[in-house]
A and B are shown apart, each in its own frame.
Chain A
Amino acid sequence: MNRRDPLLPNAHIVARREYAERVSSRLFHLSTVLLAVLAVLVAFAPLFVRLADRGTVSVVAVASTDDALADRSIPVIDGILNGSGAGAAGTFRLERRVDADAALAELADGSLQAVLVAVREPTGRLSFAIHAGESLGDDRLQQLSVAAFGVAVLDYSAANPIGGFQMPVLELLRSGGVGEGGEPIAGAEFASRRILGIVFVVLIFITLVIYGMWVAAGVVAEKTSRVMELMISAASARQLIVGKVVGIGLAGLTQAVCILVPAVAALAIEDAVAVAILGPGPSVAPSLAGLTPALLGAYLAFFVLGFALYALVYAAAGSLVSRAEDLQMLALPLSLVAIAGYFLAVMSLTGGTTGLIRFASYVPFWSPFVMLTRLTVGRVEPWEVVLAFALLIAAIGVVGAVAVRVYAAGVLLYGQRPSLRMLVAAVRGA
């Protein structure tokens, strides 16, 4: 095509129509409301867990060969965990064990929910190892660690009226998770960031795949209704693709905001609700401490760029089929690429940064997932981020140029799904 139509105003006109059509559809309203309700329910999930958990008693063994230490620890921990209210049924029941290994065996067979191994080192420093069973919730594990800390403080004040305070060694070990001996759990900030990472990955995945599919389905619908025939004479393929991607992307963003705002609001009021229902207690809601403006900015950037990349491919894919039924098949490879990115991202959240993860975080089709989670859990060099963005933007340029040609050729092909050779010939001729 010799004609170089400027992108505007036609891309804007197309985008406006696409946005209006999506946002005004009943399906959009319905799915937005449903997803928003779902998101709020998920946000309140910890509260529901706490509510359901209210009656259960966790049996915790304090294992120590040091009788004095054990005798001092148990009432302190009991006091911290169950409060001083004598009549109230405690959520923790504390038992004494001497042999740590025997206690861990009990933990393994489920008769104990946690074992706190207390040792006084020769220097006088206390060492606690908390082994948590699978049935012990995160919140209770945290309470247990706080109680152990309390033991150390009281021990210090009893033994060393004067002199330097020694921080106790505090290790939280969860059994049944990854690895043989359990995996160390970092602080609350990191936990928060990891939850955020999962939320981001899920959102990005939904955004790219679902809204990308909207783009493809929109193209197919235009082909099926044959309105495309009118469109190709009124606007260029570039204007049509860009308009469609932007319009539907904004519609997707609108939906995402409509889902996220109530969910975040739910998180913000969750503790207050918990206090109202359950009475005072430790925080229920996952902390939003990890949600920094920089991270939000990165999420937005990866959303925009990642969506652009995927949507361009989806648009090209949509232009190649004439019937909605054929779209799923053609879109499957792209969905698989996205799913791979999703799993890589989840891996990077739990398994640390391996070579594969590092590589995947630069690859344009995966960086919106993997680099985002790497950023979220804070294990990334600035140049890596720059590289990922540069590659992503370059890929959008290349994929966009190809997508426009495929689209220009594809929208005129009807009937059978075109063979690769036909397609190449058509792309050349477009």
Chain B
Amino acid sequence: MWLQLPGARPQRRRPGPSGQAVDRATRAILPSMSLVIDRVTKRFGPVVALDAMAFEVPRGQVFGFLGANGAGKTTTMRIALGALRADAGRITWGGTPTDALPRRTFGYLPEERGLYPRMTVLQQLTYFAGLYGLPRDLAVREARAWLARFRVPEFADRRAEQLSKGNQQKVQFLAAILHDPQVLLMDEPFTGLDPVNVSLLREAFLELRDRGKTLVFSTHQMEMAEAMCESVAIVDRGRVVVGGTLREVKRSTGRRMIRIGIEADHRLEWLATDVPGARVIRPGIDRSDVELEPGTEPDAVLAAAIARGLRVSHFELVDPSLEQVFIDHVGRPADEEFTLAASGAPDASAAPGSSAGSESESAA
């Protein structure tokens, strides 16, 4: 059972074989369907930005591209867009190298965001859509519709310099999608947005996915990826460390965890003596996360609690958080810098529904 995520569509399509570091088998199965990053290497002078980066984004999915700053996320996207050339390897969409496809195939929301300060929102949107080949009248109609969707129809005739950063970001997002691209590449789309706008943007993502678009976004906010992505790739120093469906990735560390709730006991002091292979890693008043060492079965914890006569109010097997998985693989959190800088920026984890989502299973 998939835990229902707030804002997600009710009937979730089962994610296809995905996100794996590309191997021959997957490429044979899905040559014409997906965005394939095929062992792409890119150097900038002495710096190796991408070191045989390889993963695959299944068509029609929301894909999380996770890594710290400097991991190679932006460079990968720029190569996919044809703005940079790979030293080795290639990126294909539906089997065709992306730089041989029309530009309108892709929409790009860069991390470094900017608009023409003196042009009105509508002028900018029709300008960018025009470059992608969208006729003006259609662009105007689409732009107005989307502005209304984002609850800011009055922005149409405002100059970009009159908008707040967050609202400029929404306009940039519209500039990336107005021409109805098949693949949407977004670099840190949620950074700098307040919770209300985060949820507006999430809804837009899911709607685009339901229209069959493929969405790739980079982030160092694991909660965001956990809440939205069907597949992810964790990258570090230009390489994919682990990739696949969210579940596969979460289980990739071999960590086994349970979440347990005991009535009138939140300290679980008995656990250390009764079950030596179990350790509380995230204590909570209501429920606590407990990690099990190899050889220690979940049943042992349950049995120990019952043997002590405690009333178990909650017990489930859980996967580690993506955050934990990231630290396990990379050796440090992805958002170190984000945490440091977080005083100014709105905390995305405060967004509705963004922190709750982790896939979990009930204990039979």
Residues of A within 8 A of B (CB): 1-3, 5, 10, 13-14, 17, 21, 222, 225-235, 408, 412, 414, 421-422, 425-426, 429-430
Contacts and interface: CB of A to CB of B under 8 A. Distances in A.
Given A13-B127, A230-B114, A234-B131, A412 B83 contact: yes
B82 interface: yes
A3 B100 contact: yes
B131 A10 contact: yes
Interface size class of B (residues with CB under 8 A): 35 or more
A235 B103 contact: yes
B84, B87, B175: which has the most chain A beta carbons within 10 Å?
A: B84
Nearest 5 A-B pairs (CB), nearest first? A226-B114, A229-B110, A233-B108, A227-B114, A225-B114
A175 B113 CA distance: 66
B85 interface: yes
Contacts of A2: 82, 97, 99-100
B304 to A, nearest CB: 56
B116 A225 contact: yes
Interface of B: 42-45, 78, 81-85, 87, 97, 99-101, 103, 106-108, 110-119, 127-128, 130-132, 172, 175-176
A33 to B, nearest CB: 20
Contacts of B85: 1, 429-430
Contacts of A414: 112
Contacts, number: 86
B84 A430 contact: yes
A232 B99 contact: no
Given A17-B127, A225-B116, A430-B85, A230 B108 contact: yes
A5 B103 contact: yes
Given A2-B97, A3-B99, A430-B85, A228 B127 contact: no
Of the candidates A1, A14, A233, A235, the one having the most CB atoms from chain B within 10 angstroms of its own CB is A233
Contact of B81 (A5, A10, A232): A232
A1 B45 contact: no
12 contacts: A1-B82, A2-B99, A3-B103, A225-B116, A227-B115, A229-B114, A230-B110, A235-B131, A412-B83, A422-B44, A429-B85, A429-B87
B116 A227 contact: yes
Contacts of A233: 81, 83, 103, 106-108, 110
B103 A425 contact: no
Nearest to A2: B99
A226 B110 contact: yes
Contacts of B82: 1-3
B275 to A, nearest CB: 53
Most buried by A among B42, B81, B87, B131: B131
B112 A226 contact: yes
A230 B119 CA distance: 15
A408 B83 contact: yes
B63 to A, nearest CB: 18
